[in-house]
Amino acid sequence: MGTHGGSGESTFATLLSGSLESHHTWPQSASPPPGGIPVVLTARTSFHGLDSSRSALTQWASGAVPGVELLGLALVSDAPGKLPKPLKDFAHLVEGGAPRTWRVPWIEQWRTDPPTAPDQRGMPTELRKLIKSVQALILKR
């Protein structure tokens, strides 16, 4: 679930076979599967992205989204290079509200050639680890 527009929600839905976009809303089901509907939140590391993920994590922690199993938060770099200290500190604070967090580095190629299939060749290690981790978490269910 993307916590805001441009968070990478559709990209991750493409990369994680069997997953679907939730169009920035918590998924709902009259009869969720045992353990709940598995969800990975996505957000950019901009102030807006971090703030929207903080809000989503607060909703989840308060119990306002029943039937959801939050697997974690994928923070997607909003620009090349290191995060400025204020954003790094804010990201650290936000991460504390998620069961686990994955960091996805800036991928320059995606600016012009977004991924169209779950092909992991040439992907950054962090992204391959995220995909494997989410797949393993879903299989454990």
The 10 Å CB-count burial string (b at 16+, else e) for 47-72 is eebbebbbebbeebeeeebeebbbbb
The span from the CA of 3 to the CA of 48, in Å, is 10
* Full strand arrangement of the beta sheet holding 68-76: 37-44, 68-76, 101-104
Number of helices and strands in the chain (H, E): 4, 3
From the list 123, 128, 73, the residue with the least C-alpha distance to 96 is 73
pLDDT digits (tens, 9 = 90+) for 36-74: 999 999 999 999 999 999 999 999 999 999 999 999 999
| pTM, to two decimals | 0.93
